[in-house]
Structure 1
Amino acid sequence: MSDQLSIQRNPVVSRRQWLANATLIGGAALASPRLLRAASPNDRMRVAFIGVGGRGGANLATIEATKAIDVVALCDVQQNALDSAASRFPNAAAHRDFRRLFDRQGNDIDAVVVSTTEHTHAFATMPALQLGKHVYCEKPLAYNIDETRRITEAAAKAGVVTQMGTQIHASPNYHRVVEKIQSGMIGDVTEAHVWVSRAWGLQSEADAKKHGDRLYVAERPTEAMTPPANLDWDLWLGPAPERPYNDVYFPGPNWYRWWDFANGTMSDLGSHWNDLPYWALKLDAPKTVESFGIEPHAEIAPASMTTVYQYGARENMPPVQLSWYQGTHKPQRWTDGEIPQWSSGVLFVGTRGMLLSDYGKHVLLPEENFVDVQPPAQFIPESPGHHAEWVLACRGEATTASPFSYAGPLTEANHLGNVAYRAGEKLHWDAKAMRAVGCPQADPFIKRTPRSGWSLG
């Protein structure tokens, strides 16, 4: 192994054990002919980073710190972010438009890291997959269900290594929770509840009018502002419907609330919090989805909302109801004080007890019933780190735990919560046909036509 590779591996998990166990958590296909261009572990991967400010800057720093890559291209629509990254990597080509990056450098890149805003994820990821590049993409995987399905299918066709940026997926806490649930420690799980305290978005029309913060503006502004000098506003808009620049959209997280650019709390935090029950309960496509909240707004996602999913039986697991709550909405057990009132959490309800978890800890309930109960033997290998998994997998030495084959269906399910909310109907979901049966008003929220000049091919 190259002495340049600084990724820390679990010393008790061999490569053979890693590969065998990773199949349990949706690992990528290691037999792909497009694994890193040479099998030698001394080879360094040539990586392009699309989006290098904020979250993108953190991804750049973490992946470069593995000492297993060369940064060969940088791209950002903000010139100041691009200049800052270029000063650290002067040998990397610098681009404003990721479409030109692929035009000019397609043969000089082995892998791509996508850290753009949500509405451009698919458009930066698709050309990379079509050129046979490994891809790490921030969450959510794509802006809507149609884009997500197309990216998932393109990744399977490309046979490359993929990872969505659900960093908590690699945590020991999530691993131990999944092991306990799948081992039957609390019995058959028939309901699960996920709640997050974040309340960004529209509270109500009345609240929006009273609120002095422009982030809660209730209507699309008609006045045009001059974009910041360092921002290419047209490129930032990308495939989204055209409009004049206004500071209610940019900088982040302003754009996060507007339907044309993102999908609010559900698609963002749902990627992290719904990930745990999705993994532990072996979920796929729900049978029905229903959402509740204030009257849907045409422009802005809600601050508070509840979504109820019904899933059928899977393998050795019974049907289960998964409920999501954001903002002021909470599970009844939380409101009644039956469980610890954590600000955000995941509650599994089984026939022999409950398990409550957040990102970093979990507890079995009632605690007195589990004092002498031994946890199952660990069967999920410790991760070297979410980013490191991807680098190792690209080198042919591991698998990723959140590949697009897993992250795609998770993202679709999260988007369905918003589709049900915006359509105002209980959805009966036909996953294969990608449509809500008998609910044509859901169609515009499942798929949209991108702005002229932008295409997924």
Structure 2
Amino acid sequence: MNQLNRRNSLKAGAFAGGTLILPGLALGKTKSANSKLNVALIGAGGIAKTCFRDCDEQNMIAIAEVDSVQGAEGLNKYPKAAHYTDFRKMLDKHYKELDAVIVCTPDHTHFPATYAAMERGIAVHTQKPLTHNIWQARTLQKAAQKFKVQTVMGNQGHNIEGMRLIKDWYDGGLIGNVREVHAWTGRSTPNTDNAKNPLPAEPVPSTLDWDLWTGPAALKDYNSKICPKGWRWWWDYGIGGLGDIGCHTLDIPKYVMGLDYPDLVYMDNSLNFRKELDGKKPKTGAGTYVYKFKGAGKRPPVTIYWYEGGHMPHFSDELKKNWEIDMAGGCLLVGDKNTIYSPGMRPNSPRLEKDWDHWRRGNLPPKNTPRAVGNPVEELFAAVRGDIPKCGSNFIDYAVPLTEMVLLGTIANRSGKKVEYNPRTMNFKDSSLNQYIKEPVRKGWEYGEG
């Protein structure tokens, strides 16, 4: 692949007010298969730890981390890397030498960090969910097309063998037509309840830059229940249990069945069959989401049910007899011939409800689905080197539609309304829901507005 050398094409780049002013398109580049890549981290704690192993064979050039305690493991692991609190300053200093950036920040800062890297011509890996709102997702999709950089979302289950096996089985006709999918997580979405009960102000730790952590969101008082680990349960910063796990578990039906956008999304909290299992009460913020998809080609219409916070689907007696139910998470693809059961948030060990001993003894369909080259970080590095044309969960083809699918569920939760979304116009049938497409941005954090 012949691409412009970023170091030459971006010489005149200058940062101003949260936006890089470029002399032209920033185009990514490839490197030889055996060369080390120059990498930077934005966020060095939490989920970033899962990326360290894959970076050990590369050159860690710089790390941006706003919390020296939360990010201590990454900062200490790479002592030779230049350390920054503001990723914008880091990118201004090092963009000419960087090949890839790994974004491991809370949801609300995924977009500015990702866009800032992309417009500088740098390949990017961003944790799931890709963005905090629909406008951000679409803007990153356009940015990937404009700046021509390699991209991937960190929904790790997309790349594992179990995902490919499920698709092999589905495409091979093993379970027949699927009209229902049931997916669940033990995590909940108490965000709306939390919004009604503001937390008291606490002193900001000396090791944290609270202003930079807040980023594009409205600057509010610090509270330790939000930062460093509770932010996911507050709408300003995260999108709850669905946002946390949906990009993993709902990835299964989307990828396997080739689903596009749903025609209707709503919540129906009467759908809860937990009493058939252990009768435990659900958590605060528990709920059941319903996604309706039209049929396409030979595939019939399908309904996806997403249960969280203790809500659970109905399980057949045969499935309960043959398999232990994973209460923490899982997915059922219910076909008219058989059912695929995938326990856990990711498809690590899928199996069939019926006749599993027969099928697993050499009778499963052939492995026709192309396999991934590794996890999302490894895949991005392979794409940058030119070993593969693009990543599976890249922003243009896959990560954005999957993220929007998850975001539509959170809008149904926040609004309490039925959500009918037109992905072509990026608007809702109920215009009152358009307020959720894009939230206000703090001055100095405007990206992709042009």
Please indicate, yes or no, whether the TM-score normalized by the shorter chain is above 0.5.
Answer: yes
Q: Which residue of 2 aligns with 1:150?
A: 139
Aligned pairs for 1:71-82 within 5 A: 71-81=60-70
For 1:149 and 1:291, locate their aligned partners in 2 and report how far apart those are by CA, in whole Å.
25
* Aligned amino acid, residue 133 of structure 2: N
* Aligned amino acid, residue 396 of structure 1: G
Q: Which residue of 2 aligns with 1:355?
A: 340
Q: Which residue of 2 aligns with 1:54?
A: 46
Kept after mapping to 2: 8 A contact 1:238/1:451 = yes
CA deviations on 1:68-116 (whole Å, 9 max, x unpaired) are x211111000124556544443432211111112222221211111001
* Aligned amino acid, residue 175 of structure 1: R
- CA displacement at 1:302 relative to structure 2: 6.0
Q: Which residue of 1 aligns with 2:198?
A: 220
Aligned residue for 2:315, secondary structure, equals helix
Q: Are positions 1:390 and 2:380 aligned together?
A: yes
Q: Which residue of 1 aligns with 2:5?
A: none
Kept after mapping to 2: 8 A contact 1:289/1:417 = yes
Which stretches in structure 1 are left out of the alignment for 5+ residues? 1-31, 206-215, 295-300
Aligned pairs for 1:161-310 within 5 A: 161-199=150-188, 201=190, 219-221=197-199, 223-252=200-229, 254-293=230-269, 303-310=285-292
Aligned residue for 1:107, secondary structure, equals coil
Q: Are positions 1:323 and 2:323 aligned together?
A: no
Aligned pairs for 1:23-34 within 5 A: 34=28
- Per the normalisation by structure 1, the TM-score is 0.81
For 1:186 and 1:336, locate their aligned partners in 2 and report how far apart those are by CA, in whole Å.
15
Q: Which residue of 2 aligns with 1:297?
A: none
* Aligned amino acid, residue 35 of structure 1: K
Kept after mapping to 1: 8 A contact 2:319/2:353 = no
- CA displacement at 1:409 relative to structure 2: 0.5
C-alpha spacing 1:198/1:86, structure 2 compared with 1 (3 Å): closer
C-alpha spacing 1:131/1:302, structure 2 compared with 1 (3 Å): farther
C-alpha spacing 1:89/1:251, structure 2 compared with 1 (3 Å): closer
Kept after mapping to 1: 8 A contact 2:46/2:71 = no
- Per the normalisation by structure 2, the TM-score is 0.83
* Aligned amino acid, residue 354 of structure 1: T
Identity of aligned residues (%): 31
CA deviations on 1:285-307 (whole Å, 9 max, x unpaired) are 1111112349xxxxxx9631111
For 2:126 and 2:422, locate their aligned partners in 1 and report how far apart those are by CA, in whole Å.
27
- CA displacement at 1:366 relative to structure 2: 2.7
C-alpha spacing 1:88/1:418, structure 2 compared with 1 (3 Å): closer
Aligned pairs for 1:87-102 within 5 A: 87-102=76-91
C-alpha spacing 1:348/1:373, structure 2 compared with 1 (3 Å): farther
Kept after mapping to 1: 8 A contact 2:27/2:121 = no
- CA displacement at 1:338 relative to structure 2: 6.3
- CA displacement at 1:334 relative to structure 2: 6.3
For 2:268 and 2:211, locate their aligned partners in 1 and report how far apart those are by CA, in whole Å.
35
How many pairs does the alignment contain? 401
For 2:374 and 2:109, locate their aligned partners in 1 and report how far apart those are by CA, in whole Å.
26
CA deviations on 1:264-293 (whole Å, 9 max, x unpaired) are 000110011001111001012111111234
- Pick from 359, 366, 372: which aligns with 2:354? 366
